[in-house]
Amino acid sequence: MVYSMVSNIIGEYISWMAEWIQIHEALFWWVGVLSLIMFAGSLGALALMVVKLPAEHFVREYERRPIIPIKNPAARICYQVVKNGVGIFFIAAGLVMLVLPGQGLIALVLGISLTDFPGRHGLVRAIVRRKKVLRSMNWLRKKFARPPLRSP
C-alpha cells in the first residue's frame, strides 16, 4: 500500500515535470547556450589570468599593495567588492569543476588569490605545490610562450 502510494506520487511528479519541460523548452535552450558561453568565458579568463601572472608570483613574499591603486574610498570599496565577487565566482566554478570537466584546481587557486581573507597566501601556495596543478599552469603558460611559474 505504501509502495503504491509512493509510486503514484513519483509518477505524478515525473509527468508534471515532463509537461513543465515541454512548456518551457525555449528556456532550457537559453540556459544551455548561456551555460556554454559561461563555460568558454571562464576557461578563457582562467587562461588569461594564469598567463599574465609573473613567474615568481608564488615564491616572493607578499607585499600588501593593491593591483590597481585607487585613491577614492568609494571607488576602492567598489573595486574590492567586484574583485571579491569575481574571486567567489571562480571558487564556486572551481568546486563545480572538481566533479565536472574543467580545470577545477586552477580556478580555485585564482579565485582564492582574488578574494581577501586571512591565510589565503598559505592556502594558495599549498594548492600550487601540488605537481598536477603547477604542471597544468605551466603547460598553459608554455602554450603562450611565457616562462614557467616557480614552485613555492
Distance of CA 94 to the CA centre of its chain: 4
Q: Would you say the C-alpha torsion 74, 78, 79, 81 has a positive or negative sign?
A: positive
What is the per-residue pLDDT for 147? 93
- In order along its 152 residues, the chain shows pLDDT tens digits of 677 787 888 888 899 988 988 898 888 888 888 878 877 887 787 788 888 888 888 887 656 566 667 888 888 889 889 989 999 988 998 888 888 766 777 788 888 888 888 888 888 888 888 888 889 889 989 999 999 988 87
State residue 63 phi and psi, 5-degree precision.
-105, 130
Tell me, what amino acid is at 84?
N
Beta carbons of 127 and 68 less than 8 angstroms apart: no
- Which pLDDT value is given to residue 139? 92
Contacts of 70-78 with CB under 8 Å at 24 or more apart are none
Please identify which residue in the block is written with the cell numbers 611565457.
Answer: 146
Tell me the C-alpha to C-alpha distance, in Å, between residue 146 and each of 46, 48, 51, 53, 111: 15, 12, 7, 9, 21
DSSP letters spanning 26-78: HHHHHHHHHHHHHHHHHHHHHHHHHHHS-TTTTTSPP----SS---SHHHHHH
Residues in the chain: 152
